[in-house]
Structure 1
Amino acid sequence: MTPPPRESTTPLLEQRIGALSIQYDERVLRPRPWTAAQSEWAAVLGEEVPPGPLLELCSGAGHIGLLAARLTGRDAVLVDASAAACELATLNAARNGLEERVQIRQGDLASALGVDETFPLVLADPPYLRSADTSRYPEDPRSAVDGGRDGLEIARSCLRVAGAHLDVRGAVVLQLRDQEQAEELGDDAGPAGLRVVEIRTVAEHGALVRLAKI
């Protein structure tokens, strides 16, 4: 996998996420070290679910999915609508020696996957701020944090895609703003063919939701 030429002339910044060195620029959300908790939970679940590649939705610069691939030893498919995010995820897969095990796909969450593709492990870190709140975070690209009117529009899309492509014995780990938002999204799990198994808070940073097939 050869990283494509960068479209930005801004110097790359670097962040350590677990054992990985992740590069990013102003076009994507800055990788936060605490998000490694999602990859680490995926690694634990990876011991319980069937063999097969993992899927990450809304992958950004790729740090969560790439770390999960490293920790689980699984192949991975990373999907994001942003060309810049996919460019940087491709670069990060290569710089961390994961290019042979990782596919980066740009496109709509649903259309980027084949109808018959299934995954035993699905991760997602969707934008979860309310549109009205995004101005409070001017350092973050709006497209990477804007979750729509109530902050859950893209998270709901992730649920629908996960429900359609999750192995019957698989697991989903979704990252959201807090426990309250996670409980609110739980009402949308059933129509997607999923059920909430567990909600974990990550210090003051956010909440992780584990889901499974109904």
Structure 2
Amino acid sequence: MTDRMSFGPLTIAFDERVLRPREWTAAQSSWAAELMTTAPPGPVLELCSGAGHIGLLAVLVSARPLVCVDASSVACDFARANAVAAGIADRVEVREGRLESALGDDELFPVVIADPPWVPAAETGRYPEDPLTAIDGGSDGLDVARACLAVIDRHLAPGGSAVLQLGTTAQVDLLKAEPALTEGRLTVTEVREEERGVLARFDRT
């Protein structure tokens, strides 16, 4: 059965196969929308988009196109339907596929939003109401986050910024050991602790 909930001014449709939108994640939308005001021109990319709520809210009052990527066909169908309901389907493209192959080599995005699963595999039992594939981040919770960071490394435009959602500041610190950061292509410029997770901003250096 399709459920619906308010997410800011949007009404988001989803069902039990898709992660239920968390109200606190509107903070990620707001931060991305703020970055858009000074970012270079170009489309916004949302990785692990689920029902699309975070990206849709982020671009709602801008004129920027949005590209949503998710491996789940169900999530992609809801993201498309939610774009229609938001009245911005004409500038939203939803791509079903793996993070590593959903984008062309030459595609660059000045703003990237990523909401990967970040719960360590041993702790997923604490959230029985959530689809396992939407929350299981592997042994340290960072398997998909690392894949997102690799995509950000390849596709973040010069002068661009990405906002990545994680569970803890300790996870942010672990990601600082990834090649994109140790080799100086990306830098963590700010971390914000929210109600049930953290948001980290990565800038192209």
Q: With the length of structure 2 as denominator, give the TM-score of the two structures.
A: 0.96
* One-letter amino acid matched to 2:114: A
Structure 1, residues 37-67: CA drift from partner, whole Å, max 9, x if none? Answer: 0010011111111011100000000000111
**Quick one: which of 183, 194, 198 aligns to 1:207?**
198
Equivalent in the alignment of 2:190:
198
Equivalent in the alignment of 1:85:
75
Equivalent in the alignment of 1:8:
none
- Checking the alignment, whether the CA contact within 8 Å between 1:40 and 1:71 is kept in structure 2 is no
Equivalent in the alignment of 1:66:
56
* One-letter amino acid matched to 1:182: V
- Checking the alignment, whether the CA contact within 8 Å between 2:120 and 2:140 is kept in structure 1 is yes
* One-letter amino acid matched to 1:75: P
Q: With the length of structure 1 as denominator, give the TM-score of the two structures.
A: 0.92
**Quick one: which of 83, 88, 98 aligns to 2:88?**
98
Post-superposition offset of 1:199: 0.4
Q: Distance in 2 between matches of 1:89 and 1:14?
A: 13
* One-letter amino acid matched to 1:208: L
Q: Distance in 2 between matches of 1:81 and 1:194?
A: 25
- Checking the alignment, whether the CA contact within 8 Å between 1:177 and 1:207 is kept in structure 2 is yes
* One-letter amino acid matched to 2:97: G
The aligned length equals: 203
* Partner secondary structure for residue 205 of structure 1: coil
Q: How does 1:1-214 map to 2 (within 5 A)?
A: 11-188=1-178, 189-190=180-181, 193-202=185-194, 204-214=195-205
- Give ranges in structure 1 of 5+ residues lacking alignment: 1-10
Q: Distance in 1 between matches of 2:6 and 2:172?
A: 27
Q: Distance in 2 between matches of 1:51 and 1:206?
A: 29
Q: Distance in 2 between matches of 1:28 and 1:207?
A: 21
- Give ranges in structure 2 of 5+ residues lacking alignment: none
**Could you say what the CA RMSD is over the residues aligned between the two structures, in angstroms?**
1.2
Post-superposition offset of 1:95: 1.0
Post-superposition offset of 1:191: 5.2
* One-letter amino acid matched to 1:67: L
* Partner secondary structure for residue 173 of structure 2: helix
* One-letter amino acid matched to 1:209: A
